[in-house]
Amino acid sequence: MRIGIDARPLSRQRTGIGNYVKGLVELLPRLAPEHSYFLYSNRSIDLPIAEAAVQRRVDHAWGWCPGSFWLLGRGARLARPDALDIYWATNAVLPPRLPPAVLKVVTVYDMVWLRCPETTSRYNLLVQTLCAKEAITKADIIVVISRSTGDELKERMGVSDHKIRLIYPGIPPVYFPQDPSRAAAYISEKYSVPIRYMATVGSVEPRKNLKVLVDALTILKRNGQLDCPLLVAGASGWRNSELFQQIRLAGLSDNEIKFMGYLPDADLPQFYAGAQVFLFPTLYEGFGLPPVEAMACGTPVIASDSQCMPEVLDDAAILLPPTAADSFATAIVRVLGDQLLRRDLRGKGIQRAQNFRFDKSVRQLLDIFEDPVQPTMTTEHSDATV
């Protein structure tokens, strides 16, 4: 088969979606080299593979144009000469005028633009409103990364069950249990931070709900229980001035909450493994890779119970209401001070993370490409525990 792929997420400084797509695209030609793969992007593709089956189609025309609108204007023009059998939209944007015979597979990560529009940027909201509805309607198959996202598609957009396939994301093998002391020492030396720290990972934006962690840190500081800083790894997102004002008003210094910016992929496993606890108070996620990556590295996790978090994390993490700063503060004190609890969370987290591996995800994606007429999300995964 000849498979076209929207490769725009494969640029440098990838976020969760980019890492998800990278993990799948890296394995596809290795597990199924009999197919041909065509990667379309308006940006350089950061993918360390050179399989003969992979063709890169990087197009710098319309350099002034945002990526989604570039795809709408240029995507089909690039794809048509490649005589595709399948087009995989790794974001919910389908180029118009693809040949009717092309199987259109669209991945939908979440419904944040419908569920929590106030937590996303105007540009993303515009793209999703204009493009996602049409892509979801025109798709032959819709891949979702959690059961909760599939349920939302059915409830909010009336998508028929037979179009939806569930494929949980995988995490790379670099995320595995490590020596916490050695990992913490590496992060401390490289980034000049204390050797004991708490961690969170994600773009600094309203949906990540960092304000509840600021409130929790304020409670801990007031009670004399803030004995290690929170390190925030992630690119600066949008509408975060209120967060930084909250931090100033709370009197929290750079020694108590430190924004690290974007960390290179090579350092993330050590960053997770060296943390005393990983915190993830998100308001909404389609899946939520960071807490699973942290669990795979053996780090105890405290997360919100929002949306799909119970589905993904189950009993391997402490789950709390996303607005309950006092509960987060209490849970932090418990995890930092109770070695038996830490050992229990570490063991459960490592075991839970084994459910999410790229080789399994890629094989399920290949099953869809090779046999589109297969059981729906409900029946195909009725025996799944995650």
Is the residue at 308 inside a domain?
yes
Is the residue at 384 inside a domain?
no
What is the reported pLDDT for 322? 96
List the domain range (segments joined by +) for residue 275: 180-353
DSSP 128: I
Is the residue at 385 inside a domain?
no
Q: Give 378's pLDDT tier (boundaries 50, 70, 90).
A: very low
Same structural domain, 106 and 193: no
3-class secondary structure, 107: strand
What is the reported pLDDT for 103? 96
Q: For the chain, what is the radius of gyration of the CA atoms?
A: 21
Same structural domain, 26 and 152: yes
Same structural domain, 296 and 230: yes
List the CATH number of the domain containing 219: 3.40.50.2000
Same structural domain, 195 and 122: no
Same structural domain, 128 and 231: no
Lowest mean pLDDT among 55-59, 233-237, 305-309: 233-237
Q: For 34-47, what is each residue's pLDDT tens digit?
A: 999 999 999 889 88
Is the residue at 83 inside a domain?
yes
What is the reported pLDDT for 376? 58
Provide DSSP, 22-73.
HHHHHHHHHH-TTSEEEEEESS--------TTEEEEE--TTTTS-HHHHHHH
Is the residue at 386 inside a domain?
no
Handedness of CA 353, 358, 359, 362 (dihedral sign): positive
Same structural domain, 163 and 308: no
pLDDT at residue 130 tops 90 = no
Same structural domain, 245 and 164: no
Same structural domain, 308 and 367: no
Is the residue at 175 inside a domain?
no
Same structural domain, 18 and 107: yes
Handedness of CA 189, 192, 197, 203 (dihedral sign): negative
Q: Percentage helix, strand, coil, to 5, in the chain?
A: 45, 15, 40
Is the residue at 365 inside a domain?
yes
Q: Please, what's the b/e burial string for 333-352 (b: 16 or more CB within 10 A of its CB; e: otherwise)?
A: bebbeeeeebeebbebbbeb
What is the reported pLDDT for 330? 98
Per the CB < 8 A criterion, the answer to whether 293 and 253 are in contact is no
Same structural domain, 163 and 200: no
Query: How many domains is the chain partitioned into structurally?
Result: 2
Per the CB < 8 A criterion, the answer to whether 348 and 318 are in contact is no
Same structural domain, 159 and 277: no
